[in-house]
Amino acid sequence: MSRGPLRASAEENRFVLRAELQRGDERVVSYGFDITPGSAFVVTDIVGKPGDELGLRLSFPRLLDPVDITARIAEQLDPSGPGAPAGLRLVFEPQDKLAQLLVRAHDSSTATPRAWRILFVEDNTFIRDVFDYGLRVFFAARGAYTVDHADSVDAAWQHLESGAYDLAIVDYYLPSLTGADLIERVRADERFAATPIVAVSVGGRDAREASLAAGADLFLDKPLVFRDLFNTLRILGQPNRPDPTPAKKRILVFDDSPMVLEVTRAALEAAGFSVAIAADLATFEEHRGALDPDLILIDVQMPEAFGDDVVLTLREGHGVRIPILLVSSLDENELATRAERSRAAGYIQKTAGMVELVRRCKQALEVTV
């Protein structure tokens, strides 16, 4: 086991994300940093050995949609000193969304920051000064931010009632009432319920669990590395650049005929779609989970199950709502009946040919490719 400290590097692209770990029935909400497309340090009390698998979800409140990952433990990190958190170095298959974040981190270093309005709830004057200094360094452009300070729950509430904030950072230990009391009050008021809240404390697990239970989006241990938090705001606060090559729509084709599968895939890929094919139920389910298709084409007469029964199972048993089309050489009236019974989005007769199949797929997805 490594005994090295969980220290911040000097790299400008460091950022901190909410990290949710899942192992069996055990779920822990924490945070991760030193993020790369294929690895992360996550602060956690979970103990494991190298190679153990964990479910990992990385996100940031209101700014980064969740990235769900199957991760492996590469290294267990023990606390290096008083107050230093324990954690895990996790590795996983490279994630495009994390790679894009790193690109944004580099590109945003010279970009004009968006205007942030931040509420910082902390009763320690020196820490408030450190916070202000960090803002001046990382949001150097004039007008890039405004920050209001509050040293108690009541003072914070007065600020909240004066206008909307892009982010609230709340210390747990406050006079009279705790930060968790404030967070719970904020979440109970529909005017402020959507405000992103980052809770901070030296209180360790108890403060973390209380803050998260009250509704904090993210909890960070003190001593807080403000650089990482400010970098995260700078990176995620930049508008996404338009992608010059829109993502291809994904189609999953399920048919027991290898020839039909290959011909259908060739026609759809030539039309600009991303295509996966499956000749049996096991492969179909594997691709459905991995591809997250926008459209599914299913043959009706197959050895393991009728296609319309598969569609009905997807609709009623798995809550699948994407368009699903039955594809078969059956009589049109029978196909129409099967499609209606199974709640398929429609049907395509194989005798209509590939040109019609491609047209119907475009129609179902309402795209021009």
Helix count and strand count (H, E) for the chain: 11, 16
pLDDT on residue 6: 34
pLDDT on residue 243: 45
Beta-carbon-side half-sphere exposure of residue 70 (alpha carbons within 13 Å): 5
Tokens of 234: 């700078």
Q: What is the dihedral of CA 88, 72, 57, 313, to 10 degrees?
A: -150
pLDDT on residue 241: 44
Interatomic CA distance for residues 102 and 214, integer angstroms:
31
* Phi, psi angle pair for 84, to nearest 5°: -75, 135
How big, in percent rounded to 5, are the helix, strand and coil portions of the chain? 35, 25, 40
The secondary element (H helix, E strand) that includes residue 206 is: helix 204-214
Tokens of 268: 């759809």
Which of these, 37, 25, 39, lies nearest to 88 by C-alpha position?
A: 39
Q: Is 343 helix (H, G, I), strand (E, B) or coil?
A: coil
pLDDT on residue 242: 45
pLDDT on residue 277: 95
Tokens of 210: 């209380």
Which of these, 33, 47, 37, lies nearest to 5 by C-alpha position?
A: 33
Distant-in-sequence, close-in-space partners of 135: CB < 8 Å, separation ≥ 6:
118, 145, 147, 230
Tokens of 100: 């894009």
Phi/psi class of residue 328: alpha, beta or left (left: φ > 0; alpha: ψ in -120 to 50)?
A: beta
Structural domains of the chain sorted by starting position, each given as residue range(s) with its CATH number in brackets: 17-105 (2.40.10.220), 112-236 (3.40.50.2300), 250-365 (3.40.50.2300)
Burial 285-315 (b: 16+ CB within 10 A, else e): eebbeebebbbbbbbbebeeebbbbbbbebe
In one-letter notation, the amino acid at residue 81 is G
pLDDT on residue 235: 64
Interatomic CA distance for residues 268 and 358, integer angstroms:
6
Q: What is the reported pTM? A: 0.55
pLDDT on residue 109: 52
Interatomic CA distance for residues 123 and 101, integer angstroms:
33
Pairing between β-strand 167-171 and β-strand 218-221 as defined by DSSP bridges? unpaired
pLDDT, tens digit only, all 369 positions of the chain: 333 333 333 344 567 888 889 988 888 888 887 788 888 888 887 888 899 999 999 887 766 778 899 999 988 876 554 445 678 889 998 888 777 777 666 555 555 556 778 899 999 988 888 888 777 776 665 566 788 999 999 999 999 998 788 889 999 999 989 999 999 999 998 888 788 888 888 888 888 889 989 988 888 877 666 666 776 776 665 544 444 456 789 999 999 999 999 999 998 988 889 999 999 999 999 888 888 899 999 999 999 999 999 999 999 888 888 999 999 999 999 999 999 999 999 999 998 889 899 999 999 987 543
Q: For 246-264, how does the pLDDT look when each residue is reduced to its tens digit (9 = 90+)? A: 678 999 999 999 999 999 9
